[in-house]
Structure 1
Amino acid sequence: MTVHGSAGPARDWIRSYAARRGRRSALTLERMERFLPEREIPDGPLDQQRAFGRVAPLVLEIGCGHGAAAIAYCRTHPEHDLLAVDVHTPGVARMMAAAHEAGVPNLKVVMGDAVFVLRDRIAPGTLHAVHLFFPDPWPKERHAKRRFISAFTLDLIASRLTPDGALLIATDQGFYAEHALAALEEHGGWQVVLGQRPPWRPTDGFEAKGIRHKRTIHEIRATRA
């Protein structure tokens, strides 16, 4: 099975993010030291009762940026829990500080690759939703295999969603929307609705940049058929 484009077969561990190196600021280090202990979930498979203090509908956000969408979701859905997964320390540190200021207890974080989190730490059939908002589009065709949506990741996501769970994708890159839709169609078993922007999501970050550049925001909602 292949994904959209000429990237060849989907591979298990093609990293979908670019490593960022450099010194961490004093503010980032202070935020990590202060907030990570209370926001990071314990090692091993997720025990929601232990991590969140309750069992509630669980959302996984892949690539949280500075956390605007994650925090907005937690504020508007206090009856849900959200687990934000990212690898970039400054953004996670900023999100945790903002979450503390906003007073949202239902947001936790994992520093790591979302593929490993899905595979090793999330039990099958336990996710109410997966949010993938403005992922790295990897615009060059030779890098298409690095795009997060692939046959392999769709297998993982499909297995972790509850029967009525949903995968939400947003992008300001038309080619990425086409890539995601082609991958969903080829994977099979998905019911797709286009153009439904979540009313709770703030216009921030890459979305705001896309709008400034007059790019269309593509919204994809996929549920298991």
Structure 2
Amino acid sequence: MAWTDERINQLKTMWEQGMTASQIAEELGGVSRNAVIGKAHRLGLQSRPSPVKANDSEAKAEERRAAAPPPPRAAEPVPAPVPVPVPAAAPRPAPATTAAAAEPQSPPAEAAPRPAEPAMRSVGPGGFLRQGPGDQQAPIPPAPPRRLVPAKPSADIAGKTSLLELNDRICKWPLGHPGEPDFHFCGVQVNPGFPYCVEHCGQAYQAQLPRRDRRPPPPLPFGGPRVR
């Protein structure tokens, strides 16, 4: 049912009289309790405390009063104690100051330092000790650059062609065995178009023999290839 001006005025009147939302819904008819509460909030009517919460608070207050301990009874008068004479205490003699007491006390000796516990290290699969989290060392500064100095030539190859002296115009035929002190290269003028001189070209490049003068190939093992 729609909210007409007459029903709205009737709602305001019953709301101000303190009637509950259920009672207002029964009086108006055709609306529910929630509809009455929603319309009252939209109209800006003053909100009221919930009766359920008020009843709950009163019941809790009654329970607290019932559970509270009874007030203490008035204490009976206690007779005043009879004063008893106390003998005066004899004066204490002043402590004698000795020479040992007059000397300043030496400070207590410091406790001996505790021995450092051995650090536990983890051993890697290869038998090396892994570095712990607190054992990180500062980076090592780089070494100063070195100036390369050519090695002094051996006296055995004095006047002979070394590896550093090779170029395209001299013969590169090695003489001797690498690692020997007198190992050097030929150094003679090359044969044009070849890396060696005329003499060493005759050793490096050998003509093939005619086919009739060639040696027959060695026989295959086990009597030759197997025929399938």
- Which has the larger share of helix? 1
Q: TM-score range by the shorter chain?
A: under 0.3
Task: Point out the structure with max Rg over C-alpha.
Answer: 2
| Larger relative contact order (CA 8 Å, sep ≥ 6) | 1
Per the normalisation by structure 1, the TM-score is 0.15
Per the normalisation by structure 2, the TM-score is 0.15
- Which has the larger share of strand? 1
